[in-house]
Amino acid sequence: MPKIKLMSHLVAGYPTDEIAFTAARALVEGGADILEIQLPFSDPSADGPAIQTACTEVLSRGFKTADGLSFISRLHKEFPEVKIYLMSYGSLVYTPGVFEFCKKASEAGVNGMIIPDLPFDNDEGLTEACRKNGMENIPVAAPSMSPERLEKLARAGFPYIYAALRTGITGTDTLIDESTLSFLKNVGAGGSKVYGGFGISEGKQARALSEYVEAIVAGSVFVRIITKNKDNPALLYDEVRKKAEELTGK
């Protein structure tokens, strides 16, 4: 079976910059094709307990957006062949100005932006700002969308769409069934490449999804491994890499 593409989610600076960097190295060496780096946010709308707790811990030590971009810049210099997507929420992008934020993100090495609470058709200029700075805006599709709205998104011409495989928050297991696969087909109906995630933690889930998506997305599973092993960086590296290899079939 060919290797499955993996977009792996990390919270910038969790639990420390050095340990987060160790986890990123383990992900890349375990086969991750894309690093989705989340800027910690205080009131997330889609993150489950593992990621929320990680964000709270990082923010408690005074971590700022500039620190997150510095972390991304370091990753980009270390792994120039790996795509980096920045994930966060709208207020962090909007407050300094959407264009200015995108300019700084691009300069740090970001290839694409995933901002779940900025709708694709009312995004405060995010898509245009990404385009002008050599990045992609990657909108999020959810099963709760009406068929009409989902079709509008699918036909909007985005190169990539992030498909949240179920409603609710991240971190609990997702059942891959016929409704999931039908949703993915509808997301990709306009020709966009689809990233599929939310609750992906096992190789069998990745295999079930692989022919329907450009890449699988996994996040909470890695955050939980990091949390469990944060006092033992060597074991953390081994466990993160092993899970990445399981998900990619490497």
Instruction: Return the closest-CA partner of residue 139 out of 152, 50, 39.
Output: 152
Instruction: Return the closest-CA partner of residue 221 out of 6, 1, 25.
Output: 6
Q: Evaluate whether 112 touches 136 at the Cβ level (below 8 Å).
A: yes
Active site residue 36: yes
Q: Evaluate whether 188 touches 150 at the Cβ level (below 8 Å).
A: no
Tokens of 157: 């011409």
β-strand partners of 162: 140, 195
Q: Report strand pairing: 215-218 vs 140-141.
A: unpaired
Tokens of 63: 């971590």
Catalytic residue of the set 18, 29, 33, 36 = 36
Tokens of 105: 């993100």
CA angle 151–157–158, rounded 5-degree value: 100
Active site residue 151: no
Catalytic residue of the set 17, 18, 43, 47 = 47
Tokens of 68: 């997150």
Which amino acids are annotated catalytic?
A: 36, 47
